[in-house]
Amino acid sequence: MKPSTVAISVIFFIVFVASVVGFRAGAGRKMNLEEWSIAGRSFGLLFMWLLMAGEIYTTFAFLGASGWAYSRGGPALYIMAYITLGYVISFYILPYIWELGSRHGLQTQSDFFEKRYCSKGLALLVSLVGVLFVIPYLQIQLTGLGIIVQVASFDQIQRSTSMLIAVCLVALFVFFGGMRAVAWVSVIKDFLMILAALSIGIYVPVHYFGGVGPLFHTLSTTHPAHLVMPGATKTMGHLWFISTVILSACGFYMWPHTFGAAFTAKNGSILRRNAIVTPLYTISLVFILIAGFAAVLVVPGLANGDMSLLMLARKSFPPWFLGVIGGAGALTAMVPAAIIILTASTLFAKNVFRPIFAPQMSEDKVSKLAKAMVLVLALISFSLALHSSSTLVALLLLGYAGVTQFFPGVVLGLFWPRVTAIGVTTGLVAGLATIATLMLSHRDPFHGVNAGFLALALNFAMTVFVSLATPVQANPLPLLTDLSRVFKTKALS
Amino acid sequence: MRKPSLLAVAIGLIPFIGMCFSVGWWDRVSPMVFGLPFNLFWLILWILLSSGCMAFANRVEERRKKDQPL
d(CA B9, nearest CA chain A) in Å: 8
Question: pLDDT tens, A109-161?
Answer: 998 999 999 988 899 999 988 888 888 788 888 888 888 888 887 887 787 88
Question: pLDDT tens, A298-339?
Answer: 998 888 888 899 899 989 999 999 999 888 888 888 888 888
Contact residues on chain B for A484, CB-CB shorter than 8 A: 1, 70
Can you name the residues that pair with A265 across neighbouring β-strands?
A: A43
- How many A/B residue pairs have CB atoms within 8 Å? 124
Confidence tier at A388 by pLDDT (50, 70, 90): low
Residue B5 at interface with chain A, using a CB cutoff of 8 Å: no
Chain A's closest residue to B32, CA to CA, is A213
Tell me whether residues B70 and A485 touch, CB distance under 8 A: yes
Confidence tier at A455 by pLDDT (50, 70, 90): very high
Please tell me the predicted confidence (pLDDT) of residue A456.
95
Q: Are A107 and A346 in contact (CB under 8 A)?
A: yes
**Spatial distance between the Cα atoms of A326 and A196, rounded to a whole number of angstroms:** 9
Please tell me the predicted confidence (pLDDT) of residue A493.
42
* Number of domains making up chain B: 1
The more confidently predicted of residues A186 and A70 is A70
pTM: 0.88
Tell me whether residues B9 and A276 touch, CB distance under 8 A: no
In Å, how far are A79, A348, A361 from A365, measured between CA atoms?
A: 41, 13, 6
Round the average pLDDT of chain A to a whole number and report it: 85
Contact residues on chain A for B62, CB-CB shorter than 8 A: 269
What is the gyration radius of the CA atoms in chain B, in angstroms? Answer: 16
DSSP-derived letter for residue B58 is H
Mean pLDDT across A462-487: 77
Mean pLDDT across A468-476: 88
Asked if the bond preceding B15 is cis, omega within 30° of 0, the reply is: no
d(CA B17, nearest CA chain A) in Å: 10
The more confidently predicted of residues A228 and A14 is A14
Q: Identify which of A482, A219, A71, A441 has the alpha carbon closest to the alpha carbon of residue B37.
A: A219
Please tell me the predicted confidence (pLDDT) of residue A492.
47
Question: For the domain bounded by A3-393, which CATH number is listed?
Answer: 1.20.1730.10
Tell me whether residues A286 and B37 touch, CB distance under 8 A: no
The reply to whether B57 falls in a domain is: yes
**Spatial distance between the Cα atoms of B29 and B47, rounded to a whole number of angstroms:** 19
Q: Answer yes or no: is pLDDT of A360 > 60.
A: yes
Tell me whether residues B58 and A276 touch, CB distance under 8 A: yes
Residue B3 at interface with chain A, using a CB cutoff of 8 Å: yes
The reply to whether B1 falls in a domain is: no
* Per-window interface: B 13-52 vs A, CB < 8 A: 15-16, 19-21, 23-24, 27-30, 32, 34-37, 39-40, 43-44, 46-48, 50-51
d(CA B51, nearest CA chain A) in Å: 5
Per residue of chain B (70 residues), give pLDDT as tens. Answer: 678 888 999 999 999 999 999 988 998 888 889 989 999 999 999 999 999 999 999 999 888 888 876 6
Tell me whether residues A245 and B20 touch, CB distance under 8 A: yes
Nearest to A227 among B16, B29, B61 (CB): B29
A39-53, A243-257, A360-374, A386-400: which has the highest mean pLDDT?
A243-257
Tell me whether residues B1 and A77 touch, CB distance under 8 A: no
Tell me whether residues B4 and A246 touch, CB distance under 8 A: no
Contact residues on chain B for A241, CB-CB shorter than 8 A: 20, 23, 27
Q: Identify which of A173, A109, A164, A172 has the alpha carbon closest to the alpha carbon of residue A406.
A: A109
Q: Answer yes or no: is pLDDT of A483 > 50.
A: no
Please tell me the predicted confidence (pLDDT) of residue A485.
47
What is the gyration radius of the CA atoms in chain A, in angstroms? Answer: 22
Q: Are B8 and B63 in contact (CB under 8 A)?
A: no
Contact residues on chain A for B29, CB-CB shorter than 8 A: 216, 220, 224, 227-228
The reply to whether B70 falls in a domain is: no
**Spatial distance between the Cα atoms of A237 and A78, rounded to a whole number of angstroms:** 11
Owning domain of residue B15: 6-64
Q: Determine which of A103, A215, A276 to mutate to test the interface with B (most B C-beta atoms within 10 Å).
A: A276
Q: Are A129 and A405 in contact (CB under 8 A)?
A: yes
The more confidently predicted of residues A89 and A179 is A89
Q: Answer yes or no: is pLDDT of A407 > 90.
A: yes
**Spatial distance between the Cα atoms of B50 and A281, rounded to a whole number of angstroms:** 12
Please tell me the predicted confidence (pLDDT) of residue A482.
41
Asked if the bond preceding A205 is cis, omega within 30° of 0, the reply is: no
The more confidently predicted of residues A29 and A64 is A64
Q: Are A308 and A292 in contact (CB under 8 A)?
A: yes
Q: Are B15 and A84 in contact (CB under 8 A)?
A: yes
Q: A48-52, A65-69, A375-379, A418-422: which range is least confident on average?
A: A48-52
Confidence tier at A177 by pLDDT (50, 70, 90): confident
Chain B's closest residue to A215, CA to CA, is B35
Please tell me the predicted confidence (pLDDT) of residue A481.
54
Q: Between the CA atoms of A343, A349, A351 and A356, what dihedral angle is there, to the nearest 10 degrees?
A: 160
**Spatial distance between the Cα atoms of A355 and A357, rounded to a whole number of angstroms:** 6
Pick left, alpha or beta for residue A163 (phi over 0 → left; psi -120 to 50 → alpha; otherwise beta): alpha
Q: Are A73 and A226 in contact (CB under 8 A)?
A: yes
Tell me whether residues A88 and B54 touch, CB distance under 8 A: yes
Chain B's closest residue to A98, CA to CA, is B1
d(CA B65, nearest CA chain A) in Å: 11
ipTM of the complex in this document = 0.94
Q: Between the CA atoms of A419, A422, A426 and A428, what dihedral angle is there, to the nearest 10 degrees?
A: 60
A449: number of Cβ within 10 Å = 18
The reply to whether B22 falls in a domain is: yes
Contact residues on chain A for B28, CB-CB shorter than 8 A: 228
Q: Determine which of A52, A82, A91, A479 to mutate to test the interface with B (most B C-beta atoms within 10 Å).
A: A91
Q: Answer yes or no: is pLDDT of A203 > 70.
A: yes
In Å, how far are A200, A283, A299, A380 from A315, measured between CA atoms?
A: 11, 25, 8, 35
The reply to whether B32 falls in a domain is: yes
